[in-house]
Amino acid sequence: MISNSEVASHLAELARLATLEEGSSNAFRVRAYETAARTVELLDTPVADMSAKELAALRGVGPSTAAKIRELVDTGRMARLEELRVMFPAAFVELTRIPGVGPKTAVMLRDELHINDVEGLKAALDAQLLRGLPGMGAKTEENIRTAVERLGIGGKERRTPIQDALAVARDVVAALSAVPGVIRVEPMGSLRRFRETIGDIDVIVVSTGDPEDVMRRFVDLPVVREVVGYGARKSAVLSASGMQIDLRVMEPSQFGAAAIYFTGSKAHNIRLRQMAIERGWILNEYALAESEGGAVIASDTEERVYAALGLPWIPTEIREDTGEIEAALASELPDLVADKHLRGDLHVHTSLSGDGQESLEKMLAACAARGYAYVAITDHGEDLTINGATRQQLLAQRRRVAKLQDQYPDMTILQGAELNIGPDGSVDYDPEFLAGLDFGVASVHSSFTLDRTNQTARVIAAMRNPAVNVIGHLTGRRIGHRPGIDLDVDAVLSAAEETGCALEINGHLDRLDAPADVLRHARERDVVFSIDSDAHDTRELANVANAVRNARRGWVERKRVVNTWTAKQFVRWVEGTRGG
């Protein structure tokens, strides 16, 4: 039976492709498919059990979308989607990831210049063909060229943002978990290491049943567009969006060795294999075994394989051979932050933000349900057009927070704001008004193309502002869509040391910001971090888990994360940084 999440990803793809057909993401049909995708995703009842009439009664689902969902449930296909995939192949859709190339432009490039993919676009840029098109000039052409170069997209080593890869992997895992005999299904490779972009998806299935059952189900998945290799225990397919998925079926006794092998990284594996060879053993995807005779030394769990090599289990996010083997040998692995350490969330929006989806009451209830000892409510400051809150609104919210605080004796509620760092480093409101807030996150939401000197200066100015406790999503990047601002990271880290201002680790999957390489770089510095959801609805509070994984990739230790501290320590830090 097809899962709600699989149906939702079909609807989301329908929305993406309809954008190209309609020429705008604001078209009514596009909005309708997006709403329908969201509704289905959040629904507790399986849509596969619902009639067309029941489906049409759901929010955002009209009779025609309801019919498409039924068609998918009954036949495993959606004819309309397949037509659109033919009209707009994945390589063509990729053009719209380039800032400055919207759906209208992409279609015009195809109609006028026969550009079908990023390679074609690069050739046209080299020949300066774009400036001759209606509504384009040399300047637009230059902007597009810069965007293509900075994003590094196109070509053979095409990588997919982790957000998109995780969505595909989740569907595969859900479907294969239901096959009889399957006892575990787990994504491996760069996905398990939580790299921000993914080359291909690797999945291990452990089954006590017939491996062919798993394979047949795998190649028949609705997300599969093409089978590139088929075997009884090993297959590879291409997804609708053009991602390769490699699948291996292993015996339960082989799981540990297989997980280490397929998690990688390749460099980490090579080090382990050398250690095995030094002991007269071999290490492959099936086992750690003696070279002579092949007696198995360890294979069923990762812990046993590492232990046989004289190592503790190494967290997946740091398996890159960038010092983790040496640290493990010296019993000096970092005490990495984990989900269970979090005691609060310091970046939470309510419906007071134009893009917030949920009331203050609901957001607080959901935070309390997560067991938090403190939370900072941080709606957008007034400088963010449409989305920002006025002074009056914030004052009114402050009174509501004071009342609600009584209902949460175990959770300290800070009322703050997410301030906007202007091009000159100034923020919203005025110092006197800001002094009346309990907390401040300050983020860059504009002027992404200033040069390094100016970007660095504006961020440092915000850190020195007494109303600012945390710098939100440091670089402002959107993985795969928008490069981060150009920053002198060392200067920013020095300012963080000097002011005590925390750097946020934002949990939105398209942000993961500050990036892991910046976090790793900060290890030698006395800098603190906050792990935040930046939730705009209650479901997004769970984003902190993504931030934790990104923090681990950056070797961030628990003691450096302010929202792992006890309420007392945390409040002392807040007071120490405010008005500083």
Nearer to Ca ion, 246 or 537 (CB): 246
Q: Is 393 helix (H, G, I), strand (E, B) or coil?
A: helix
Rounded least distance, CB 186 to ligand DGT, Å: 13
CA triple 62-66-72, angle to 5 deg: 150
According to the binding rule CB under 6 A, does residue 525 interact with ligand DGT? no
Nearer to ligand DGT, 69 or 204 (CB): 204
| 536, 522 contact by CB (below 8 A) | no
Residues sharing a CB contact under 8 Å with residue 338, sequence separation 6 or more, in sequence order: 548, 552, 558
Task: Please give the Cα distance from 1 to 298 (Å, whole number).
Answer: 37
Nearer to ligand DGT, 80 or 279 (CB): 279
| 141, 128 contact by CB (below 8 A) | yes
Nearer to ligand DGT, 265 or 420 (CB): 265
According to the binding rule CB under 6 A, does residue 551 interact with ligand DGT? no
Q: Which of 33, 255, 261, 439 binds ligand DGT (CB under 6 A)?
A: 261
Task: Please give the Cα distance from 142 to 127 (Å, whole number).
Answer: 12
In this structure, the number of other CB atoms found within 10 A of the CB of residue 425 comes to: 19
How long, in residues, is the chain?
580
Torsion of CA 120, 198, 228, 182, to 10 degrees: -160
Task: Please give the Cα distance from 20 to 144 (Å, whole number).
Answer: 18
What residue 218 binds from ligand DGT, Ca ion, Zn ion, none (CB within 5 to 8 A, per partner kind)? none
Q: Which of 92, 255, 262, 429 binds ligand DGT (CB under 6 A)?
A: 262
Nearer to Zn ion, 299 or 546 (CB): 546
Residue facing Zn ion at closest CB distance:
534
Nearer to ligand DGT, 261 or 306 (CB): 261
Structural tokens at position 67:
């019919």
Task: Please give the Cα distance from 54 to 69 (Å, whole number).
Answer: 11
Task: Please give the Cα distance from 16 to 501 (Å, whole number).
Answer: 39
Rounded least distance, CB 225 to Ca ion, Å: 17
Structural tokens at position 88:
């707009």
Residue facing ligand DGT at closest CB distance:
264
According to the binding rule CB under 6 A, does residue 270 interact with ligand DGT? yes
What residue 269 binds from Ca ion, Zn ion, ligand DGT, none (CB within 5 to 8 A, per partner kind)? ligand DGT
- Segment lying near ligand DGT (by CB under 6 A), choices 101-109, 211-219, 262-270, 438-446: 262-270
Rounded least distance, CB 530 to Zn ion, Å: 12
- What does the binding site for Ca ion look like in residue numbers (CB under 5 A)? 189-190, 200, 202, 246
What residue 534 binds from Zn ion, ligand DGT, Ca ion, none (CB within 5 to 8 A, per partner kind)? Zn ion
Rounded least distance, CB 203 to ligand DGT, Å: 11
Nearer to Zn ion, 274 or 390 (CB): 390
HSE-up of 296 (CA within 13 Å, CB side)? 14
Site string (180-219) toward ligand DGT, x via CB under 6 A: ---------xx----x--xxx-x-----------------
Max CA-CA distance within the chain?
A: 78
CA triple 169-174-179, angle to 5 deg: 125
CA triple 346-530-348, angle to 5 deg: 20
Rounded least distance, CB 158 to Ca ion, Å: 13
- What does the binding site for Zn ion look like in residue numbers (CB under 5 A)? 418, 534
Residues sharing a CB contact under 8 Å with residue 97, sequence separation 6 or more, in sequence order: 151, 153, 480, 481
Q: Which of 266, 391, 525, 568 binds ligand DGT (CB under 6 A)?
A: 266
List interacting residues with ligand DGT (CB under 6 A). 189-190, 195, 198-200, 202, 261-262, 264-266, 269-270
